[in-house]
Amino acid sequence: MSGTKSENPPPIWGMVINQDLCIGCQACVTACAMENNTSFIGDKDIRIGRSMQWIHTERFWDGQYPDITTGFQPVLCQQCGNAPCEPVCPVYASVHSESEQINLQVYNRCVGTRYCGNNCPYQVRVFNWRDWPRPIPLNNQLNPDVTVRRRGVMEKCMFCIQRIRRVEDAAHTEGRPVRDGEVEPACAQACPAYAIVFGRLDDPESKVSKLAKNGRAYRLLEELGTQPRITYLKGDSNHGNNG
Amino acid sequence: MAETVTLLALFADIDPTVKAIDKLHEMGIADNKMDIISGIPFSHEMLGRPKVSTLVPRLAMGGAMLGLIAALFFIFGIPGLFPLHVGGQPVFPIPPLYIIGFEMIMLGLMGTAFLGLFLAGRFPSYEPKVYVPEISDGKIAVVFPCSDEMQPQFTDALMSLGAEQVRPVEAKTL
Amino acid sequence: MATMAESIVLPDASAGEHGDPREHLMLDPRPRGEMNAMVLESMHKTSKKFWGVVIFLVLTIAFALVGAWGYMIANGMGVTGLTRPEYWGIFIVNTVFWIGISHAGTFISALLRVMKYEVRRPFTRAAELMTTFGLVQAGISIFMHLGRVWLAYWLVPYPNVRTLWPNFHSPLMWDFMAINTYVIASTMYLFLPLLPDLAMARDRSTGWRKTFYRIISLGFRGTEAEWKHLKAAMNIFAFAIIPVMFSVHTIVSWDFAMATRPGWASSVFGPYFVIGALQSGIAAVLIVLFMIRSTMKNMKYFIRPEHFDFLGKLSLIVSMAWAYFFFNDYLVPWYGGDKFDKLLLDFHAHGPFAWVWVYMLIGNIVIPWAILWNKKWRRKPWLMLIVGIVINVAMWIERFVIIPVSLTITRMPFTWRLYHPSIEIPLTIGTFALFMLLYMLASRLIPMVPVWEVQEGQNAHTLRKVGKAEVTSVSEVD
Q: Report pLDDT digits (tens) over C290-341.
A: 999 999 999 999 999 999 999 999 999 999 999 999 999 999 999 987 899 9
Q: Does B4 touch chain A (CB under 8 A)?
A: no
Residue of C nearest to B112 (CA): C233
Give chain C as a 3 state SS string. CCCCCCCCCCCCCECHHHCCHHHCHHHCCCCHHHHHHHHHHHHHCCCHHHHHHHHHHHHHHHHHHHHHHHHHHHHCHHHCCCCCCCCCCHHHHHHHHHHHHHHHHHHHHHHHHHCCCHHHHHHHHHHHHHHHHHHHHHHHHHHHHCCCHHHHHHHCCCCCCCCCCCCCCCHHHHHHHHHHHHHHHHHHHHHHHHHHHHHHHHHCCCHHHHHHHHHHCCCCCCEHHHHHHHHHHHHHHHHHHHHHHHHHHHHHHHHHHCCCCCCCCCCCHHHHHHHHHHHHHHHHHHHHHHHHHHHCCCHHHHCCHHHHHHHHHHHHHHHHHHHHHHHHHHHHHHHCCCHHHHHHHHHHHHCCCHHHHHHHHHHHHHHHHHHCCCHHHHCCHHHHHHHHHHHHHHHHHHHHHHHHHHHCCCCCHHHCCCCCCCCHHHHHHHHHHHHHHHHHHHHHHCCCCCHHHHHHHHHHEEEEEECCEEEEEECCCC
Please indicate if any CB of chain C lies within 8 Å of the CB of A45.
yes
Which of A1, A80, A86, A88 to substitute to test the interface with B, most B CBs within 10 Å? A86
How far is A15 from chain B, CA to nearest CA, in Å? 20
pLDDT at C336: 80
Instruction: Give the confidence band of C210 by pLDDT, cuts at 50, 70, 90.
Output: very high
The chain-wide mean pLDDT, for chain C, equals: 92
Cross-chain residue pair B86–C167, CB shorter than 8 Å? yes
Q: Do B88 and A227 touch (CB under 8 A)?
A: yes
pLDDT tens-place string over residues C418-444: 999 999 999 999 999 999 999 999 999
User: Would an 8 Å CB–CB cutoff place C154 in contact with chain B?
Assistant: no
Which pLDDT does position C5 carry in this prediction?
Answer: 37
Q: If you measure CA to CA, which chain C residue comes closest to B81? A: C163
Of chain A, the percentage scoring pLDDT greater than 90 comes to 82
Q: What is the pLDDT of residue C8?
A: 52
Interface of B with A in 61-90 (CB under 8 A): 84-89
Q: What is the pLDDT of residues A176-202, one digit of tens each?
A: 999 999 999 999 999 999 999 999 999
Q: Give the per-residue pLDDT at C410.
A: 95
The mean pLDDT of chain B is 92
pLDDT recorded at residue C161: 92
% pLDDT > 90, chain B: 73
Q: Say whether pLDDT at B158 is over 70.
A: yes
Which tens digit of pLDDT belongs to each residue from A146-156?
Answer: 999 999 999 99
pLDDT at residue C16 is higher than 80: no
How do residues C56-79 score in pLDDT, each as one tens digit? 999 999 999 999 999 999 999 999
**What pLDDT was estimated at residue A68?**
86
pLDDT at A70: 86
Neighbours of chain A (3+ CB pairs under 8 A): B, C
Peptide bond into C157 cis (omega under 30): no
The predicted-structure confidence for C258-298, as pLDDT tens digits, reads as follows 999 999 999 999 999 999 999 999 999 999 999 999 999 99
Question: Measured between alpha carbons, how far is C379 from B96 in angstroms, rounded to an integer?
Answer: 45
User: Residue C40: pLDDT above 60?
Assistant: yes
**CA of A8 vs chain B CAs: smallest distance (Å):** 17
Residue among A160, A174, A202 at smallest CA distance from A7: A202
- Asked whether the predicted pLDDT for residue C7 surpasses 70, the reply is no
pLDDT at C1 over 80: no
Chains in contact with chain C (at least 3 beta-carbon pairs closer than 8 A): A, B
Segment A119-142, tens digit of pLDDT: 999 999 999 999 999 988 988 999
Helix axes C451-460, C171-203, angle to 10 degrees: 80
Band (pLDDT 50/70/90 cuts) for residue C95 is: very high
Smallest Cβ–Cβ distance between A111 and the set C147, C169, C410 belongs to C147
pLDDT in tens, B61-107: 999 999 999 999 999 999 999 999 888 899 999 999 999 999 999 99
For residues B155-161, give the mean pLDDT: 92
Report residue A7's pLDDT band, with 50, 70 and 90 as the boundaries: low
| pLDDT at A240 exceeding the cut of 70 | no
B118 Cβ under 8 Å from any chain C Cβ: yes
Q: What's the whole-model pTM score?
A: 0.93
Residue B107 is nearest to which of C181, C214, C223, comparing CB atoms?
C181
* A242 pLDDT more than 90: no
pLDDT at B173 (0 to 100): 87
Q: How far is A26 from chain C (nearest CA, A)?
A: 16
Given this model, what pLDDT does residue A63 score?
A: 86
